[in-house]
Structure 1
Amino acid sequence: MTRTFGGIELGGTKTVVVLGQPGAIREREEFPTTTPDETLSRAVKTLLHWREHGLLDAAGIASFGPVRVAPEAADFGTMLDTPKPGWAGAPVLSFVAEALSLPLAIDTDVNAAALAEYGAGAAQGCPVVVYLTIGTGVGGGVLLNGAPLHGMLHPEIGHVRLRRMAGDAFPGICRFHGDCVEGLLSGPALVARFGRHPGEVEAGDRVWDAVAHDLAEVLAMLVLTLSPQRIVVGGGVTNRQPHLLPATRSRLPHILGGYLRDCTHAALERLVVPPALGDDAGPMGSLILAEQALAAKGAN
C-alpha cells in the first residue's frame, strides 16, 4: 500500500507545504512566513484539504530555529529564542498536531534537508554529513549514520564566532552576537555589508573576498570538529551566487595550514558541494520526517 505524506518546510522568509513521498513531491503551496498564527493556520488548511481527500497518512515539520526537538522536553516542538520577530515561544508542533490528529514529527529545516540529501542527493553513502544553509538566516544540520544529531538542543552553527579577515570591519547584524556566522553571511547581512542586494554585486567584485573568507572559516571549523565526508552548502545565497563556493574552497587549504594532508584541492571539490536537490531538499526532508513518524507509530 502506497502511503502519502504531507510536509511543512517552515522558513524564515517563506513556508512550503508539500504532498507526496520521499523522492517525489506531487503538490506544493508556497507563501510568505508572517506571524505564527497566520502562517501555521495556512499550512494546516492546506494539509487538512489533502486529508479530506484521503491523501494524507502522516506529516512532518522542518522548521527554522532554534526549536525544541527533544520529545521528553515540556516545551517539545516550541520555538525558542529565534531572531525571527514574533516567533519566540510559538507552539509549532502542538498547533499542527491539534488540527491534524495524525502521526507527526518535527525537526530543524537543516536536519530535514540533510536527511533528503543523504537519502537521494549529494550525501548518499556518507556516514557523517553536514548540511549548511545560507539564506535569511544561517543554519547547520548534522547527520551521523543517517540520524540527525540532537544533544542539549541541536547544532547552532549559524551562531559560531569566526576568525575575521584582516581589515574587515563589518560589525555583523545578529541581534544576539553581532558578527557570528549568521550576522556576517546571511542574506540580510550581505545587504547590510554591501549596501545593496547581493544580486547587484558582480561576481568578480573584491567585496566578495571577505564573504568567501568567512565561509571558508566556517567550513574549516566543520572539517576539524566533525570530520564529515560531505558538507552540502545550500540556501538562497549560495544557490544564487554560484561563484561563492569555488572561491571559498580555494581558501580552505590556506586556512587549514597544511595540517590535514587529505584536504587537497581535489578532495575539497568532493567534500564541499551544492545540494543535488536544490531548493527541494528541505521540503523533501519534511516528507521523510512524516514517513518516520508513521513508522514510529506502527512500532509502538
Structure 2
Amino acid sequence: MLFGSIEAGGTKFVCAVGNENYQIKESTTFPTTQPQATLDQAINFFQQFPDLKAIGIASFGPIEIRKNSNNYGYVTNTPKPGWSNTDFVGYIKKSLNLPIYWTTDVNGSAYGEWFAYQQQQQPLNSLVYYTIGTGIGAGIVNDGKFIGSIGHPELGHVYLKRHPDDRDFSGICPFHGDCLEGLASGPTFKARLGIAGQDVPLSNHVWDIIAYYVAQAAIQTTLAFRPEKIVIGGGVASETFLEKVRLQFKQLLNDYVSVGDLKQYIVMPIVANNGSATIGDFALAQKALTE
C-alpha cells in the first residue's frame, strides 16, 4: 500500500511516495512557480504509482480548511505571487481522484513529529511545532488532533515585547511590521545586517535578540496550550540557537509554571533531514483513507 505526500512550500515542492511503514520509496523536489505548472509536476509524479491510495498535502498558506466552505482546499490570500485563490485540492483531485488530507505546512510537520514520538515509544498527548525560516508558523497537535476549526493557527503573527537593543528595527512583515515573523524570521538578519542569516556567526548579538523573541513565543504557547513539548525547526533552528532560547525562556517565565527540563521541553525535530512534514503527510494520508 502506497501513500503520497506533498510538502508545498513557497519556494519548493517536495513530493514523495511511501509505504504503510512510512518509508520513502521515491521523492522529487522542484521549484514553486505558477500554480498550474507546479501542480502539474506533482500530478505527473504521482501518476507513476497506480497503487497510490491517498495523499497528504501540507501547504503554505493561508489556506481554507473548513470542509463546509465553498473554498475548501484553496490557498487563499497568500502573499505568494500568482497563488491567491488557487483551488489546490480540487485541481489535484481532478487528475488523481484519491482521498486527500489537506492541512498547513506546519501542521504536517507537527503531525510528523507527534507521530514519530509515538513510533519511538515516547508517546505524547500534545506538541507544538514551530518552523522558523523564510516565515514563521506553528502547528499544534493535541490528542492526535489539530487545534483550529474555523481556521488554522497563525502563531507566527503574534505581537511581542521589543528587545531594548532592537527598537529601531521596524520589522519586515507586510501585514503587521513587528510581529514575530516580522522580527525573528530568517530574512530579518539581512534586513538588520545586510547579510543572510547563514552567514551571521552565532556570537553576533542579533542571535540573542532573535532568541528573545522566540522565547516569548514559546512562553505564549506554554501559557495558552500547556503542551508537553515545543519543537523548533526550520532554517534558523540549531541546538546552539535553542540554548539561547532556553536561557531567555527561563529568565522571562521566571518559574511561573513548571515545564520540566528545558532541554527536553524546547527541542529540535527528531525526524531527520527536515522530513517531519513528509512523515506527517503519509500518516495523514492513511487517516484520510480510513475516514
Instruction: Report the counterpart of residue 100 of structure 1 in structure 2.
Output: 96
Instruction: Report the counterpart of residue 201 of structure 1 in structure 2.
Output: 200
| 8 A Cα contact 1:109 1:282, kept in partner | yes
Taking structure 1 as the reference length, the TM-score comes to 0.91
Q: CA deviation at 1:99?
A: 1.1
CA shift digits 1:80-136 (9 cap, x unpaired): 222222221111111111110111111111111111111114894221210111112
Instruction: Report the counterpart of residue 62 of structure 2 in structure 1.
Output: 66
Distance 1:32 1:237 in 2: 21
Closer, same or farther in 2 for the Cα pair 1:263/1:102, shift >3 Å? closer
Q: Pairwise mapping of residues 219-234 of structure 1 onto structure 2 (< 5 A)? A: 219-234=218-233
Distance 1:250 1:180 in 2: 21
Distance 1:23 1:186 in 2: 31
Residue 290 of structure 2 corresponds to residue 258 of structure 1: no
Instruction: Report the counterpart of residue 178 of structure 2 in structure 1.
Output: 179
Cα-Cα RMSD: 1.6
Instruction: Report the counterpart of residue 116 of structure 1 in structure 2.
Output: 112
Distance 1:289 1:125 in 2: 17
| 8 A Cα contact 1:121 1:277, kept in partner | no
Letter in 1 for 2:255: G
| 8 A Cα contact 1:12 1:33, kept in partner | yes
Residue 263 of structure 2 corresponds to residue 269 of structure 1: yes
Distance 2:79 2:180 in 1: 14
Q: Pairwise mapping of residues 12-161 of structure 1 onto structure 2 (< 5 A)? A: 12-21=10-19, 23-50=22-49, 54-121=50-117, 124-161=122-159
Q: CA deviation at 1:250?
A: 0.8
Distance 1:109 1:16 in 2: 11
| 8 A Cα contact 2:187 2:197, kept in partner | no
Q: CA deviation at 1:258?
A: 3.0
Q: Which runs of 5+ in 2 are unaligned?
A: none
CA shift digits 1:46-81 (9 cap, x unpaired): 11122xxx3311111111111111111111011122
Instruction: Report the counterpart of residue 237 of structure 1 in structure 2.
Output: 236
In structure 1, the residue corresponding to 2:47 is in which secondary structure? helix
CA shift digits 1:164-206 (9 cap, x unpaired): 1113122111111111111122222222222111111111111
Identity of aligned residues (%): 38
Alignment: residue pair count: 286
Taking structure 2 as the reference length, the TM-score comes to 0.94
| 8 A Cα contact 1:23 1:120, kept in partner | no
Distance 1:82 1:242 in 2: 31
CA shift digits 1:254-280 (9 cap, x unpaired): 1113312x246xx21111111001300
Distance 2:106 2:126 in 1: 14
Letter in 1 for 2:215: A
Instruction: Report the counterpart of residue 283 of structure 2 in structure 1.
Output: 288
Distance 2:192 2:45 in 1: 38
Q: Which runs of 5+ in 1 are unaligned?
A: none
Closer, same or farther in 2 for the Cα pair 1:49/1:41, shift >3 Å? same
Distance 1:235 1:257 in 2: 27
Distance 2:262 2:161 in 1: 21
Q: Select 1:163's aligned residue among 130, 153, 161.
A: 161
Letter in 2 for 1:17: C
